[in-house]
Amino acid sequence: MADSSGRADAEHAPRAPKGPQREQARTAYDENLQKGETALHRGEFQPALEAFKRALALKPTGEALFGIAKAYDGLDSHKLAVEFCTQALAKVGDDPHLEAEVRDLRGSSLMALALGPDDKRLKDAEADLRAAAPSIVSARFNLGVALLKQNRDADGVRELRAYLEEAGDTLDGGVRRMIENPRRAREPYAPDFTLKTLEGRPLALADLKDKVVVLDFWGSWCQPCVKALPGLVKLARKLDQRVVLVSIDEGESETAWRAYVAKNNMNWAQCWDNGQYAHTLNVHEFPTYIVISGEGLVRARRSGYDPRQTDAWLENEIRQALTPGPAR
């Protein structure tokens, strides 16, 4: 029972576990933290979230809260990532490195939520990232992007150059391309790829400059993808030299991929991916179609297959992408 100050009477206060109980709780906490980190490393964000939540229930620490924030970030739940980062910051204690990591994630999540150069969340992101940049290399890159998103190109480029000097171009040339063209931080440019074709040759997005590119993420294990195939066959026959259809197989062996493509006469560009490019483009459902303009901007995307709508949608989006205009 509580007195007038709100404090619990000693005889009714919950008792902390003692001896073996305390050790068991500590062990279970550490085990769940490790399970969460392992799941994050594998890209298994929902199991990671559940493990970190179990850890938090055992011990409400900044580490557990930060783990939950990282899992939500992986699930593209940026608002929840920001909320849990804020809670984690209240519990980081005397751990400056953990504080910097939390601020880096909160800053990048705020950037993901911002809707334009004047969005206050970009200023908040900038403050977090400036605080984190001296300790976390990635925060300097994120700070550069946050500044570019505010149309502060000179400041943003300066931070990106500092990042290059410290870490190198960790984006396979993407950092240098952003320095050369700051619009890449503000507009939905498709991330570059280099994938292996059926013939064993590399195919890069840069090779398809000035062409509309339609990416089809699929797998023969995916029944909606199989149902979509006749429509793609018809589409491939209609396309002229200004448009390139690229099907990217996900989630099966090269042997199974090659056999299926040969059996079904899929005679347009066929590539195989180990999940890396799908992850880069946040593709989590199959099939997923992404239409990229000749300038390299993502103009449209759609997941799933509906025989009454998807084929017509794709043709319409290709026509729109052939006409200059804003991304949708």
**Tens of pLDDT along 11-67?**
344 444 555 566 666 799 999 999 999 999 998 999 999 999 999 999 999 999 999
Query: Residue 6's pLDDT is what?
Result: 40
pLDDT (average), residues 54-81: 96
pLDDT band for position 324 (cuts 50, 70, 90): low
In eight-state DSSP terms, residue 16 is P
Query: pLDDT class for 325, splitting at 50, 70, 90?
Result: low
Instruction: Check if the beta carbon of residue 67 is closer than 8 Å to that of residue 37.
Output: yes
Question: What's the pLDDT score for residue 3?
Answer: 42
Task: Let me know: does 219 contact 286? Beta carbons within 8 Å.
Answer: yes
Which range, 7-11, 55-59, 273-277, 322-326, is most confident? 55-59
Q: Classify 289 as helix, strand or coil.
A: strand
> Across the chain, what does the average pLDDT equal?
91
- pLDDT at position 204, please? 93
Q: How far apart are CA 68 and CA 328, in angstroms?
A: 31
Region 213-238: mean pLDDT is 96
- Gap between the terminal Cα atoms of the chain: 58
Q: What is the pLDDT of residue 11?
A: 38
Distance CA 237, CA 223 (A): 23
pLDDT for residue 10 is more than 60:
no
For 315, residues 6+ apart whose C-beta sits below 8 A from its C-beta are 235, 238
> Sheet holding 194-197: strands in order across?
202-204, 194-197, 269-272, 243-249, 212-218, 288-292, 298-303
Whether residue 96 is predicted with pLDDT greater than 60 in this model: the reply is yes
pLDDT at position 156 is 98
1 confidence band (pLDDT: 50, 70, 90): very low
Angle between helices 96-113 and 137-149 (to 10 degrees): 30
Q: Among residues of the chain, what percentage have pLDDT more than 90?
A: 80
Q: What is the DSSP letter of 227?
A: H
| Pick from 16-25, 202-211, 214-223: least confident | 16-25
How many angstroms separate the CA atoms of 215 and 283, rounded?
A: 11
What the chain holds in terms of domains, given with CATH numbers, is: 20-185 (1.25.40.10), 194-321 (3.40.30.10)
Q: Is the pLDDT of residue 2 over 60?
A: no
Question: What are phi and psi for residue 162, nearest 5 degrees?
Answer: -65, -40
Distance of alpha carbon 191 from alpha carbon 173, whole angstroms = 11
**Distance in angstroms (rounded) separating the CA atoms of residues 58 and 161:** 43
Q: Average pLDDT, stretch 84-90? A: 98
> Using CA of residue 243, residue 247, residue 248, residue 254, what is the dihedral sign?
negative
Q: Assess whether pLDDT exceeds 90 at residue 282.
A: no
- Per-residue confidence (pLDDT) for residue 8, from 0 to 100: 37
Question: What pLDDT digit, counting tens, does each position of 103-147 carry?
Answer: 999 999 999 999 999 999 999 999 999 999 999 999 999 999 999
Q: Given this model, what pLDDT does residue 12 score?
A: 43
Who has greater pLDDT, 321 or 327? 321
- pTM as predicted: 0.71
